[in-house]
């Protein structure tokens, strides 16, 4: 084939330009360490990179959520630890004051300490987090959840809302507990029923919180005591039990024996001391009561000013019995919540590890897709350099030859 001199020149120059372009591409790769500068360099890998980055960012988001969630849960755990300490101290004080030898003065000291503990507990229930939000107000986090009202009761202004965070794909976890669950919705009495002494009782009868034999259906009952002077100067104490409609379910005249079990309708309890004639105790179903009220009742009982020291003592013993189960119930609840918090902390730790290993895997894949294989790139670079040099040499050699040189 004929070769046009002009074309031969052009072809040689084009070849060199092409070599230079390839060289500059490899040079850019080596300089940036990245295999792909723009999507068209490798469209499939480019789309993969966008997706992988997206996944990586999302996982990072989970990790951020986890860190924020852990901080909240650890804060809650700290508060609950303090709550436990306070409840235990109240319980100790209840045991300590459950003694007739305590003077009124001593009881007042105890009442003062309990009152301070109650105040501290209220403070803990109204704890705020780093953002100044109430931790135990549910969703109404700008409202002080627990406040004392005019009747010395306690109002809850929060709700049952529970904040969740996303810690993994399709995995959410609560990062808090509403105050209603932690402090308020705690059953009084033994959880099934509560045994109450009538404030007008004159005898020394102290009723046990009791337990259910499993068939308690939730009715209200009264245990009414009667005394009869016996001819031999001994008093005979008997009792009867009536239900809410006044029906006798334990017949009148059933002899009372101190400390012996009194059983009816699934209720099992006992009375100690000597009830007076007409004294009665009421059994009603347990109701929710907040722990502040439980403690308030204890304080009120400690400060009970009754003309008769004996009657005051009896009332106090009855109240302390209730306080003790109340504290046990409260401690049980806090324990449950703390167990939940611990389980959640475990769950987010586990998820964090999963997320971390996922991040690692994705980074590896990303690096495989995106990063340059230096060994290959450098040998590529050498090859391209040799190519360019060769075509330059060829050009100078070939272009020097012309027939005109010989004419």
Partner 1 sequence: MASGDLLGVSVSGALASQRALATTGHNIANANTEGYSRQRVDLGTRTPQLAGNGAIGTGVTVNNVERVYDDFVAGEVRTNTSTDSSLRANYEYTSQVDNLLSDPNAGLAPALQSFFSAVNGVSEDPSSTSARQVMLSEAQSLSDRFQYMHDRFDTLREGATAEMKSVVTDINDLAKSIGKINDTIINAQEMSGQPPSDLLDQRDRMVQKLSELVSVRVSEQDDGRLNVFIGNGQTLVVGSEVSEMAIEKSRFDPNHAEIVFKGNASDSVITKFISGGRLGGILEFRNGVLDPAQNELGRIAVGIAKTFNEQHRLGMDLESKLGDNFFTRAEDLAPNILPNGRNQGDYKISADITDIDKLTTSDYELSYRDGKYRLVRMLDDKLLGEYDKMPGHIESEGFRINLEEGSRIANGDSFVIRPTRRGGEVFAPLVKNTKYIAAASPVRTEALVSNQGNAEISAAIVDDTSHAAFSQGNKLNPPFAIRFVDDTHYEILDNSGNAIPIQKSARPAQPAISASEKGGGPATPAEPAQPPELTTRIPYDSEKGANVFPTPDGQDYGFRVRITGNPKAGDVFRIEFNKDGIGDNRNALELARLQSKPVLDNGSSDYSEVYSQLVSRVGSKTHELEINRDAQKLLLDQAIERKQAVSGVNLDEEAAKMVQYQNLYQANARVMATANKLLEELINAFR
Query: Which tokens hold the place of 193?
Result: 């029923």
Closest to partner 1 by CB, 138 or 326: 138
Closest to partner 1 by CB, 135 or 299: 135
Name the nearest CA neighbour of 143 among 155, 333, 153.
155
Closest to partner 1 by CB, 217 or 233: 217
What is the edge-to-edge ordering of all strands in the sheet holding 280-285?
193-197, 280-285, 221-229, 235-243, 248-255
Q: Cα(187)–Cα(374) distance, rounded to whole angstroms?
A: 70
Closest to partner 1 by CB, 191 or 278: 191
Q: Cα(275)–Cα(405) distance, rounded to whole angstroms?
A: 142
The helix (H) or strand (E) run that includes residue 187 is strand 186-187
3-state secondary structure of 400: coil
Closest to partner 1 by CB, 137 or 320: 137
- Estimate to the nearest angstrom the gap between the alpha carbon of 249 and the chain centroid: 46
Q: Cα(405)–Cα(407) distance, rounded to whole angstroms?
A: 6
Could you tell me the smallest distance in angstroms from the CB atom of residue 104 to partner 1?
A: 34
Could you tell me the smallest distance in angstroms from the CB atom of residue 85 to partner 1?
A: 26
Could you tell me the smallest distance in angstroms from the CB atom of residue 368 to partner 1?
A: 18
**Residues contacting residue 149 through CB under 8 Å, at least 6 positions apart:** 155
- Estimate to the nearest angstrom the gap between the alpha carbon of 198 and the chain centroid: 40
Could you tell me the smallest distance in angstroms from the CB atom of residue 66 to partner 1?
A: 11
Closest to partner 1 by CB, 5 or 396: 5
Closest to partner 1 by CB, 61 or 309: 61
Closest to partner 1 by CB, 52 or 295: 52
Could you tell me the smallest distance in angstroms from the CB atom of residue 88 to partner 1?
A: 25
Closest to partner 1 by CB, 51 or 361: 51
Could you tell me the smallest distance in angstroms from the CB atom of residue 18 to partner 1?
A: 9
Closest to partner 1 by CB, 193 or 256: 193
Extract long-range pairs of 301-308: CB within 8 Å, 24+ residues apart: 302/97, 302/107, 302/108, 302/110, 302/111, 302/114, 303/107, 303/108, 303/111, 308/202
Q: Cα(228)–Cα(255) distance, rounded to whole angstroms?
A: 11
Q: Cα(58)–Cα(65) distance, rounded to whole angstroms?
A: 10
Could you tell me the smallest distance in angstroms from the CB atom of residue 321 to partner 1?
A: 22
Query: Alpha helix locations (H) across 233-308?
Result: 291-302
The helix (H) or strand (E) run that includes residue 74 is helix 43-97
Could you tell me the smallest distance in angstroms from the CB atom of residue 50 to partner 1?
A: 4
Could you tell me the smallest distance in angstroms from the CB atom of residue 34 to partner 1?
A: 11
Per CB under 8 A, residues contacting partner 1 are 1-7, 11, 14, 38-44, 46-47, 50-51, 53-54, 57-58, 61, 64-65, 68-69, 131, 133-134, 137-143, 156, 159-166, 169, 172, 180, 184-185, 218, 285-288, 402-404, 407
Residue for token digits 């459950």? 98
Q: Cα(389)–Cα(16) distance, rounded to whole angstroms?
A: 9
Could you tell me the smallest distance in angstroms from the CB atom of residue 390 to partner 1?
A: 20
């Amino acid at each position: 084939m004929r070769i046009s001199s002009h074309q031969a020149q052009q072809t040689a120059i084009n070849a060199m330009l092409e070599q230079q372009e390839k060289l500059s591409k490899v040079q850019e790769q080596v300089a940036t360490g990245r295999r792909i500068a723009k999507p068209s360099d490798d469209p499939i890998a480019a789309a993969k990179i966008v997706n992988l980055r997206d996944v990586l960012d999302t996982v990072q988001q989970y990790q951020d959520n986890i860190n924020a969630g852990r901080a909240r849960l650890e804060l809650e755990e700290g508060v609950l630890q303090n709550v436990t300490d306070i409840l235990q101290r109240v319980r100790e004080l209840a045991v300590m004051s459950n003694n007739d030898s305590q003077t009124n003065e001593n009881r007042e000291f105890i009442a003062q300490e309990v009152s301070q503990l109650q105040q501290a507990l209220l403070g803990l229930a109204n704890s705020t987090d780093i953002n100044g939000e109430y931790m135990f107000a549910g969703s109404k986090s700008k409202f002080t959840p627990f406040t004392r009202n005019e009747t010395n009761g306690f109002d809850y202004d929060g709700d049952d809302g529970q904040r969740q965070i996303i810690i993994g794909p399709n995995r959410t976890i609560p990062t808090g507990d509403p105050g209603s669950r932690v402090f308020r919705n705690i059953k009084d009495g033994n959880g099934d029923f509560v045994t109450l002494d009538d404030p007008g009782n004159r005898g020394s009868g102290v009723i046990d919180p009791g337990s259910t034999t499993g068939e308690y259906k939730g009715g209200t009952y009264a245990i009414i005591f009667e005394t009869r002077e016996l001819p031999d100067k001994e008093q005979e104490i008997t009792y009867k039990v009536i239900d809410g409609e006044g029906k006798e379910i334990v017949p009148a005249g059933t002899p009372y024996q101190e400390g012996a079990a009194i059983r009816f309708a699934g209720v099992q309890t006992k009375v100690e001391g000597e009830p007076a004639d007409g004294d009665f105790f009421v059994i009603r179903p347990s109701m929710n009561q907040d722990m502040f009220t439980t403690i308030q009742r204890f304080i009120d009982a400690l400060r009970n000013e009754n003309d008769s020291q004996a009657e005051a003592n009896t009332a106090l013993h009855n109240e302390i019995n209730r306080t003790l189960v109340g504290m046990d119930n409260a401690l049980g609840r806090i324990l449950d919540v703390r167990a939940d918090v611990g389980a959640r902390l475990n769950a987010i730790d586990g998820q964090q590890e999963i997320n971390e290993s996922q991040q690692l895997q994705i980074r590896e894949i990303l690096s495989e897709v995106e990063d340059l294989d230096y060994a290959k790139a450098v040998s590529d670079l050498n090859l391209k350099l040799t190519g360019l040099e060769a075509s330059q040499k060829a050009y100078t050699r070939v272009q020097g030859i012309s027939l005109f040189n010989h004419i």
